[in-house]
A = this chain, B = another copy of it.
């Protein structure tokens, strides 16, 4: 039944398992923004401040950047993230880089936008640990520089609110794009941009069937309306040793959200841009290397056993998806002169 549904999904998505040349898309320089939150320089600047501000956590020690570190691959390279008081989360942090190209957010797609996603971690007990957004807003209101920055970003009558804070954070995140990877330069015509092994790997990636799901500019599936997730079962083929070795059936994925058993073990197809930088792999971070992750994906999703050479080629290709990271200046976080807001 699971396989049947998968096949059905393939058909519905209208994707050939062998990508044709026109299917190799390059990464746009600008991310789409919802009509309700057009990207402006002022919102980006405010959002960057909030993104890096550890005062959005109960202890004053954890910022968005703690687990989605933009100086690295946009995650924390851990199986499970570590939040306030050293508490551990239950899934591996996805990268923030190019997350603007997801039509839903979180592994289980429970947030329909970057704005909605930004609400969650701040008040999650094992992440940033604030009681609720009222507490967050009350704290931010005590920081004069934020009072003015929210007005600059949202207008003179604007107040500090969850809605405005998450809009600003999402606006900043929409600037986190990594164009001009070797892959992009190759697709645009620079035949020297990828090595021979990477070109072989690109073909294998398509022929083996990876590109069936991992298509599009961000390799996370077709462009769908915001809020419409492109999900797939993981693992699809369960009769193999990987499933137990890496405990791949413990987490119910989207089923945990919808409580519909038909959604059990379904996950958003993740972005593969910069995937070489985001070990360990999978929703549970159980797989330490990209090489092993590629072999597992072939087996549990496509029921194929890759040769060492084929896996190596695909890994080489995936390394060609590491893009150029835009230079950014540090935000200067606004002060509370002569007092502190954290313990």
Contacts and interface: CB of A to CB of B under 8 A. Distances in A.
Contacts of A331: 71
Interface string A314-335: 0100110010010111111101
Contacts of A71: 52-53, 330-333
Nearest to A289: B339
The quantity of this chain's copies bound in the complex is: 2
A342 interface: yes
A279 B339 contact: yes
A340 B78 contact: yes
Interface residues of A, number: 51
A203 interface: no
**4 A-B pairs with the lowest CB-CB distances in the bound complex, closest first:** A86-B86, A290-B338, A85-B86, A279-B340
Interface of A: 52-55, 59-61, 66, 69-73, 76-79, 82, 84-87, 276-277, 279-280, 288-291, 315, 318-319, 322, 325, 327-333, 335-343
29 contacts: A52-B71, A53-B71, A59-B78, A59-B82, A59-B86, A60-B78, A61-B78, A61-B82, A71-B332, A71-B333, A72-B333, A73-B335, A77-B341, A77-B342, A78-B340, A84-B86, A85-B86, A86-B86, A86-B87, A276-B335, A276-B337, A279-B336, A279-B338, A279-B339, A279-B340, A289-B338, A290-B337, A328-B330, A329-B329
